[in-house]
Structure 1
Amino acid sequence: MLYVYRFRLYPNREQVEFLNCQIGHCRFVYNKLLEIAKELYKKENKKWNYYEYKKLLPKLKEEYPFLKEANSQSLQEAVKWLDRAFKNFFKGLVKFPKFKSKKRVNSVSIPQYFKIEENRIKISKLETPIKFKKHRSIEGKVKSISITKLPSGKFYLNVLVDREIEPLPETDKVVAIDVGLTHFCTLSTGKKIENPRHLLKTERKLKKLQRKLSRKVRGSNKYLKLQKKIAKLHEKIVNQRNYFLHKLSRKIISDNQAMIVEDLNVKGMLKNSNLSKHIADASWRRFISYLEYKAKLYGRKLVKINTFYPSSKLCSVCGYKNGNLKLSDRNWKCPNCGTEHDRDYNATLNLLREGLKFLKGSLRFASGRGGTPRTNARGECERIR
């Protein structure tokens, strides 16, 4: 499977100028082609075509000579990024492509002509290799690299490798996971994981810095200094969140042969103005994606139950559906059998039951291979054929 290693780069002043130049050229090509595509669509109703716009690169180099300083393959990768953005838009996954901003995260992709020597990376058109912190060994065949610059000014090296699956020792444990806001998630074992709320803990400090920034003159040295300080604080929040999600997902993957989760429509949930900040801070979608790729890497199985399956409203004892259950009802009593339920724990038991219907009929589960089966519209798990 494809896997990405990420390392912190430590370029010197000359190398920083070179990387800024390369990233800037790729951003320019991306934005220029997007501008041309929008104009042609308005005037001639001409739709996006990757191969036609790729042919425009030589013309752009003639019109803008500074583009000759950039790695030609990196510029071609920028066209591929724009092509991917348009394809995702046509599939309905994202909104229409936007122009890349210098103030946000920017990258340059280098598919060939690079060399990794211990803790240094050598790339074309740069005489001296760039030092990076190699905190772990790179396993697998290296496919390509990319360099990312964050708003805080830090550079990171991303190494894409083709890595073999490393199955963990098999176990007969299966767990269902129900994510929430009161607790980050509840397991079918009865264990509840506390919600760390990284953003809310730092929000007071963040607001204070943003108020200071609003009083500074835009573009001044003090303004830029505060802007970088805010970017570093945001980066710290992201790092804390990712560390928590990686640690929790690795623990769950190690302890269980299969995980059962609900395929949530997080994008729709974020439209709730009262809960959007808390949902974004929890990062449920990222947590499920971590479980997904770790399950594939370590030979586990992840089952996704349909979004519309009423896991919280069903009684896990008798199957009665409580249609009057509200989001604020954290505990409820079944009118049919009289059983008192903890909302989240009851949901995990229902998810576990639905997931086991699939796992018992799946031949792959016995062999311990990874995968991400889905469910049909009625919330029933589909067997792998």
Structure 2
Amino acid sequence: MKSQFRAEELRRDREIVVIGDSGAGKTALFRRLRNAEDPFQEYSTRSMITADIGLPALEGSVSIHDIPGDYAASRLKSSLNGKEAIAVVVAVDLAHHQDGSLGDSTRGWLEAFSAASEHTSVSVARRLLVSTREDMGTSKHNVDRLEKLAKELGFDFVFRTSAKTGEGVNELRSALAEVVAQIAKHPDAEIASPVAQVVRAMAACLCELVARNPRILEQIEWRDLERVIATAVSGIGFSVELTRPAKDGGKDVIVRCVAGGIYKVFYIEIKHWLRNRSGMDDVTSFVEVNARDATDGGLFLSSSGYTQEVFAQLGEISRQRVRLGDSPKISSLCRYYVKQKGIWHSERPLPDLLFEETLG
């Protein structure tokens, strides 16, 4: 029988590793991830920093390593010996790579990390490519190079950040929280089985199809649409949990983020009917679920629209911190997902993106 997983075990044995060239802005980003409210300072460190970064997806925290830029592969081995990396963050400063060396530098760090993991228990679950110092301005050419490099080297996420302004930090933190949450639920298994990887890829393809042609919604099964919504919202920057198909407690997707330094939880309920429109009973049940669990808000999505009774109560529904969306809102979320894949970034808070273009 598998032993019960404890947050303390994750803190002791599993790590998020931040690597990259000297001067890439790793330490400033590291400190901003630890505490979004810390005043910005320029940092320079020649020793490895390890600290807890509180991620609300766990009842606890996870250690994060800030590896100095002059660490060789051999030093990476010793620093990570006996640990398991659940994510590796490769930080790059695009302004320092105008000569085309971005690919060589990033590839070199990944190779050093692979060498470090060869004789340890390190098993990389997620790769994140993070551009730092976006407050200095980034040319479209550099953004295109970043996107191309991410695809070439198999990164799972790409983020454009600035420790100085806070741009992109909450989105990066939410992505790390999602990785931690998956580990917490499945501590003795791989983060994604081959079947799960195929399902995830299918949901991503469907998301892109809906973004291009909203009529595709009519051809998607209800469970696949739930996966599409989860994929789209995750792409925007939320930490996402897709609930089970039955007895889900009145919500299909749970999304989490940090906004304004505050941890927030939202529920999404999805009704995907070809003929019947969602009525007041459906919406009221969802309102009650959000009130019961004291969420920060709920998004009710109905691909077939709503009855007139629901439209008559839009004001009261909004006062209950629940917003309604229909097929155009679903398509909008999918378009945001596609934009994010193109290294798009919005400076608006994540909750604003979740609830914009809703009814009422």
TM > 0.5 between the two?
no
Q: Give TM-score scaled by structure 1 length.
A: 0.29
| TM value normalised by structure 2 | 0.30
Bigger Cα Rg: 1
